[in-house]
Structure 1
């Protein structure tokens, strides 16, 4: 199996190590990967003592994502049990209040104990859970020992070590009860619905836009023109103030380079005025009688 996988992958190395740790079955659970697929494991768990599932043996599949252990596995029960639907993928996550808090430190052993701990709990109408009478669950528990998996060929009665008479699993069940308080079983449909809800809450609000056809349908303001019967009030002629005010306001100071030209024109005007004055005096002098 090692030749088929990238041994540098953290997930592959983790699963290889867990397969070695779980190679020997216990009196409560057993789990091993399929020979052709390291990411699919088959398990068998013992029903908790003192419950409707007492002495029951339940077989199923564990589907691990390639991102394991960063993402949680999914569980599928194959043996009729009266608690979970068969062939229904159940996603195992952390608390329902914080489903993203799956802990990478949790292992397949943790998942097995969690399933044992969840067996006697109520489904409370969750998708993937069953509401079956107590007698039916006990009947299924008695018949479960002869159940054989059509995929891996394991018979439930041969999957675990035989229980010793009077043996108690109090320590393991206490650990399983503690795990139950940190995890929640959810069906695949519930997880998808939760992801859709999170995506909708995280999406930005939609901005309503109008189609071009709607823009063309906007009313155009009409301009009214005076009719023959209407009289236009006479406008007063502009005064000197109104004539010169805009000119004064809009007058821009001439550039300094034009100052010399204006001075030259003024000098020529003064010279021309003096010539006219002198010419007039000469004319008057000549015209007067001696």
Structure 2
């Protein structure tokens, strides 16, 4: 199966050369289900937080994007209360088979450093991010302290 072979190669690559602020492992013994931790980037609102993610690869990967959800609660305009993520790279109509999971994980870490309020999943948080950044930062940091340790 091509998907399994591709996922195995990407997993081996990440094991040999880990990404900064990102760690991944298998969720159980299923190669198509991973768990990961993204460390809040230094200097960001999410600095020091440990954000757990679930990564599920579809049978037709890399022709369809992986499904990634946050398992750690996060106050972010691009992540909803169920952990769903709004990230252009993961949208089916934008996804390209050449994209690797490492590219996605780097983009997720970048999304923590720089939220995208112009393409929000949670409009109220995006509005607060744009209108009252100080209150947004305060709330996000409170959530990091409460849920991401």
TM-score greater than 0.5 by the shorter chain: yes
Instruction: Give secondary structure in 1 for the equivalent of 2:38.
Output: strand
Instruction: Give secondary structure in 2 for the equivalent of 1:59.
Output: strand
Aligned residue for 1:65? 58
How many matched pairs?
136
Cα separation, 2, equivalents of 1:95 and 1:108: 10
Aligned residue for 2:3? 11
Instruction: Give secondary structure in 2 for the equivalent of 1:65.
Output: coil
Instruction: Give secondary structure in 2 for the equivalent of 1:58.
Output: strand
RMSD: 2.7
Q: How does 1:1-290 map to 2 (within 5 A)?
A: 9-23=1-15, 25-83=18-76, 84-90=79-85, 93-94=88-89, 100-119=93-112, 120-124=114-118, 126-127=120-121, 131=125, 133-146=136-149
What CA deviation, in whole Å up to 9, does each residue of 1:192-212 have, x standing for no partner? Answer: xxxxxxxxxxxxxxxxxxxxx
Instruction: Give secondary structure in 1 for the equivalent of 2:6.
Output: helix
Distance 1:10 1:76, change over 3 A: same
Task: For CA contacts below 8 A with separation 6 or more, give which structure has more relative contact order.
Answer: 2
TM-score (norm 1): 0.41
Instruction: Give secondary structure in 2 for the equivalent of 1:20.
Output: helix
Cα separation, 2, equivalents of 1:52 and 1:70: 34
Q: CA deviation at 1:102?
A: 1.7
Which structure features the higher share of strand residues?
A: 2
Unaligned runs of 5+ in 1: 1-8, 147-290
Q: Does the CA contact (< 8 Å) of 1:45 and 1:116 recur in 2?
A: yes
Task: State the structure with more CA Rg.
Answer: 1
Q: Does the CA contact (< 8 Å) of 1:42 and 1:59 recur in 2?
A: yes
